[in-house]
């Protein structure tokens, strides 16, 4: 009998071992997968909002872009954005109903304390029975520059991106119209749903960032890239090009005309690349594009970070970034004339201010394009630096010689060309205007892509004002966008602006 009792005892122990195995599977090994089941949303949410989510700070380490506030509700912490709508395009929102966007989404691991580096801290909080605390993000954003960009853009639809060309650090990122992330971060789901429906019903799409999410024809600001390709192909700034009033395009009835139908350089028989750039001569750049061919032009655009099709992925950024588009060369095989239009930033060419700020940065930085970044430092809840995210080069789209030549050409645009409205006393500003047609009868988009000081660049700024902004169909990049860039440059260099 004892043998059977012993065996029965062992059998019971074996049954318990099965239970131990299953419980450890459910609670430890497969716990995250099981807990992520959509039917477990409520429990997940309560756990999520029990965390004292980390702050998001500006570069000064004092200006709070996002923080957590303790409440009395079932969800313990509520997300707050003390600056209102100003930094929405950077922080994104954190909503109990619609999830997260922006830095709130991409750095969720750190903000929520889930990142492995935070384990010692969260373990300490756990043992002491304190709410778990997340890490703090310090961004590269300069509040003064951000405020200047917001003020200069005013209520015109558009976007401004300013970055430090030496480090890729984004100093300002403004999109208009925008939204107040506080409206979506309330703990009242009905309030959140109402705000969400209102924002989504708005035809101006305030939830989408015109700085990073949307794409627009870059117009003449794309001549930066066409000129870069020409310089890289061995055509110097003084290379001479025929100067007809308009460009007769082969195989079509179409002609390529200059802005307002004018004849560049007062109708002189020939024109140099530098001259054509200064006055933004469409006809010349159409010729250049056709001479270079689709391969060279596409490769140059792609080297700056453009892609052959809309999408993200080539240029890593801290929040979603829709890179510029330059079509695959095969698109021009049957229809050569379209290449002339692509060369002046029309046809299927598209970009946004962050993409164009990267182009300006690469030129400003001697040909080296830095990876754009928003987050420079991650601090643990005690304020100790957990991780520093330093500058890193992303690519080298052009040689230093090309960069220097482009810089000189851009300076001439501001000094005596289409971009004189960007002039700042005591500072050499380099820039390129763009006035992009985007549909019959629609007022054009006004662009300005720039950096300063030209001899030692510390800031690159790209501006787009949609549908002509306050000037409507009369608008040009030089009139509408250049003054905005000027104000942002002044703020970044800490010199007084001249008032927009």
- Residue 342 CB partners (closer than 8 Å, separation 6+): 289, 294, 297, 326, 327, 332, 348, 349
In the complex, least distance from residue 450 CB atom to another protein, rounded to whole angstroms: 52
| Measured distance CA(427)–CA(35) in Å, rounded | 58
In the complex, least distance from residue 101 CB atom to another protein, rounded to whole angstroms: 25
Q: Residue for token digits 């379209």?
A: 338
In the complex, least distance from residue 24 CB atom to another protein, rounded to whole angstroms: 6
In the complex, least distance from residue 72 CB atom to another protein, rounded to whole angstroms: 11
What DSSP string runs through 355-422? HHHHHHHHHHTTTPEEPPBSEEEEE-TTS-EEEE----EEE--S-HHHHHHHHHHHHHHHHHSTTGGG
Give the residue with the Cβ less far from another protein, 33 or 334. Answer: 33
Torsion of CA 487, 489, 492, 495, to 10 degrees: -70
> Of 186, 209, 220, 412, which one is the catalytic site residue?
220
In the complex, least distance from residue 378 CB atom to another protein, rounded to whole angstroms: 24
Any idea how long the chain is?
500
Give the residue with the Cβ less far from another protein, 35 or 268. Answer: 35
Give the residue with the Cβ less far from another protein, 22 or 330. Answer: 22
| Residue 116 near another protein by CB under 8 A | no
Cβ density class 378-397: b for 16+ within 10 Å, e for less: bbbbeeeebeebeeeebbeb
| Measured distance CA(464)–CA(41) in Å, rounded | 41
Give the residue with the Cβ less far from another protein, 43 or 194. Answer: 43
Stretch in the footprint of another protein (CB under 8 A) among 46-54, 239-247, 336-344, 426-434: 46-54
| Residue 313 near another protein by CB under 8 A | no
| Residue 242 near another protein by CB under 8 A | no
In the complex, least distance from residue 14 CB atom to another protein, rounded to whole angstroms: 10
Binding positions for another protein, 24-43, rule CB under 8 A: 24, 26-28, 30-35, 37-40, 42-43
Stretch in the footprint of another protein (CB under 8 A) among 10-18, 329-337, 378-386, 437-445: 10-18
- What separation in angstroms does the CA of 391 have from each of 107, 165, 166, 369? 18, 10, 8, 11
Q: Which of 3, 62, 334, 384 binds another protein (CB under 8 A)?
A: 3
Tokens of 125: 């909080």
In the complex, least distance from residue 196 CB atom to another protein, rounded to whole angstroms: 24
Residue among 356, 362, 344 nearest 448 (CA): 356
Give the residue with the Cβ less far from another protein, 69 or 194. Answer: 69
Give the residue with the Cβ less far from another protein, 6 or 494. Answer: 6
| Residue 130 near another protein by CB under 8 A | no
Stretch in the footprint of another protein (CB under 8 A) among 7-15, 90-98, 330-338, 435-443: 7-15
| Collapsed DSSP state (helix, strand, coil) of residue 77 | strand
Give the residue with the Cβ less far from another protein, 50 or 194. Answer: 50
| Residue 70 near another protein by CB under 8 A | no
In the complex, least distance from residue 122 CB atom to another protein, rounded to whole angstroms: 11
| Residue 50 near another protein by CB under 8 A | yes
Binding-site size, another protein (CB under 8 A): 39
| Residue 2 near another protein by CB under 8 A | yes
| Residue 75 near another protein by CB under 8 A | no
Say how many C-beta atoms besides its own lie within 10 A of residue 302's C-beta: 19
Torsion of CA 475, 478, 479, 482, to 10 degrees: 120
| Residue 72 near another protein by CB under 8 A | no
Tokens of 141: 């954003």
Give the residue with the Cβ less far from another protein, 37 or 69. Answer: 37
| Measured distance CA(163)–CA(167) in Å, rounded | 8
Residue among 221, 51, 238, 236 nearest 132 (CA): 51
| Residue 1 near another protein by CB under 8 A | yes
Q: Which of 16, 73, 267, 470 binds another protein (CB under 8 A)?
A: 16
| Measured distance CA(22)–CA(58) in Å, rounded | 47
Provide the pairing of β-strand 64-70 with 77-80: antiparallel
Based on the residue annotation, tell me whether 240 is a catalytic residue of this protein: no
The one-character DSSP state at 51 is S
Q: Which residues are catalytic?
A: 220
Residues that bind another protein in the complex, under the rule CB under 8 A: 1-6, 8-9, 12-13, 15-16, 18-20, 22-24, 26-28, 30-35, 37-40, 42-44, 46-47, 50, 126, 129
């Amino acid at each position: 009998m004892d043998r059977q009792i012993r065996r029965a005892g062992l059998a019971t122990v074996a049954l318990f071992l099965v239970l131990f195995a299953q419980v450890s599977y459910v609670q430890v090994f497969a716990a995250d997968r099981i807990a992520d089941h959509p039917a477990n949303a409520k429990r997940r949410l309560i756990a999520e909002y029990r965390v004292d989510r980390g702050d998001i700070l500006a570069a000064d380490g004092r200006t709070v872009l996002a923080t957590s506030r303790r409440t009395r509700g079932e969800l313990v912490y509520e997300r707050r954005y003390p600056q209102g709508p100003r930094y929405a395009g950077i922080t994104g929102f954190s909503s109990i109903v619609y999830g997260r966007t922006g830095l709130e989404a991409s750095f969720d691991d750190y903000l929520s304390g889930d990142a492995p580096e935070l384990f010692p801290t969260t373990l300490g909080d756990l043992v002491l029975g304190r709410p778990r605390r997340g890490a703090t993000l310090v961004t590269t954003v300069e509040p003064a520059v951000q405020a200047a960009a917001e003020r200069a853009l005013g209520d015109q639809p558009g976007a401004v991106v300013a970055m430090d060309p030496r480090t890729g650090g984004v100093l300002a990122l403004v999109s208009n119209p925008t939204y107040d992330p506080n409206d979506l971060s309330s703990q009242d789901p009905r309030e959140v749903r109402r705000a969400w429906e209102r924002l989504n019903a708005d035809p101006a799409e305030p939830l989408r960032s015109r700085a990073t999410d949307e794409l627009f024809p870059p117009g003449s600001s794309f001549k930066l890239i066409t000129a870069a390709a020409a310089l890289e192909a061995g055509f110097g700034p003084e290379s001479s090009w025929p100067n007809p009033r308009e460009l007769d395009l082969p195989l079509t009835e179409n002609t390529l005309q200059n802005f307002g139908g004018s004849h560049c350089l007062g109708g002189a028989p020939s024109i140099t690349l530098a001259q054509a750039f200064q006055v933004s001569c469409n006809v010349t750049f159409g010729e250049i594009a056709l001479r270079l061919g689709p391969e060279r032009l596409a490769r140059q655009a792609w080297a700056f970070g453009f892609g052959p099709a809309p999408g993200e992925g080539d240029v890593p950024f801290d929040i979603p970034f829709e890179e510029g588009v330059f079509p695959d060369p095969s698109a021009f095989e049957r229809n050569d004339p379209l290449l002339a239009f692509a060369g002046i930033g029309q046809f299927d060419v598209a970009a946004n201010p962050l993409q164009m700020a990267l182009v300006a940065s690469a030129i400003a930085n001697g040909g080296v394009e830095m990876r754009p970044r928003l987050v420079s430092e991650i601090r643990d809840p005690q304020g100790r630096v957990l991780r520093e995210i330093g500058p890193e080069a992303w690519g080298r789209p052009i040689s230093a010689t090309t960069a220097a030549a482009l810089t000189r050409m851009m300076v001439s645009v501001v000094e005596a060309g289409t971009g004189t409205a960007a002039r700042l006393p005591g500072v050499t500003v380099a820039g390129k205007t763009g006035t992009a047609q985007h549909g019959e009868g629609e007022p054009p988009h006004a662009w300005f892509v720039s950096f300063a000081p030209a001899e030692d660049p510390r800031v690159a700024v790209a501006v787009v004002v949609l549908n002509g902004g306050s000037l409507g169909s009369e608008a040009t990049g030089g009139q509408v966008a250049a003054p905005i860039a000027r104000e942002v440059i002044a703020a970044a260099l800490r010199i007084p602006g001249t008032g927009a």
